Structure formats: C-alpha cells, structure tokens
Amino acid sequence: MGKQTTEMLKGTLEGIVLAILAVSPAYGYEITARLRDEGFSDIAEGTVYALLVRIEQRGLVDVEKVPSEKGPPRKVYTINAQGGAYLDEFWRTWSFLAERIEQLHHRIERTNEEGE
C-alpha cells in the first residue's frame, strides 16, 4: 500500500472498522483478515489493534474476553449504541466528502478540456 493510501486511510479506518463490526462482532485478527479480504491488503494487525484499543477507550464498542485454547484470551469487539451513532455520522461525512471531491475532480477535468 502506498504512502498516500496509508495517509488517506488514517482518517477513515475507524469508520471502516466500525462498519465491519456492524456486520458481526469480531476479534482483532478477524477484523484484519476481513480488511485484507476487502482489498486493504497491507494493513498491519498492530494498527488495527491500536485502533481497537482507541475505540474501546472512547466507548464505541463493548469488549468481551473469550478464552482461547492457547495464549491469552481473545478480546471480542461488539459495536454498541454510541458506536452506531458514530458510524451513522461517519457515513454522512463520507458521502459529503466523496461528493465534494468528485465534483472538484470533474470541474477540473472540464476546465482542462475547455482549455485545450
């Protein structure tokens, strides 16, 4: 993943992870795996882990520790009401941004074409 992709993803990854959790609860590795399936191929597990910690501290998810056969218990994350509200806002913001940027893109392309 290029540097620019990483930079752009930073602001949206919380929303993306909450969107994934809105489908079903998951633990860290599952979330990373699903992100990779969605085409975010080089995403680091640690980045997702840090993000999960952050959204947990902000009260957007509920966490349950589930024992695993080996190693420490797995923390399973479930989106809660506050997280749901955050996700709604995320989608509104996303649509707004995507629409504006697309308009800007078209306007610049048109201007360039007229200029030729």
- Compute the distance between CA of residue 26 and CA of residue 74 in angstroms, rounded to an integer: 10
Name the residue nearer to another protein (CB basis): 37 or 102. Answer: 37
Q: Is residue 59 at the binding interface for another protein, with CB under 8 A as the rule? A: no
Helical packing angle, 13-23 and 28-37, nearest 10°: 100
CB of residue 76 vs another protein: minimum separation in angstroms?
13
Least Cα distance to 60 among 85, 31, 82, 77 occurs for 82
CB of residue 114 vs another protein: minimum separation in angstroms?
42
For residue 74 the two structure tokens come to 């797995």
CB of residue 13 vs another protein: minimum separation in angstroms?
10
Name the residue nearer to another protein (CB basis): 72 or 115. Answer: 72
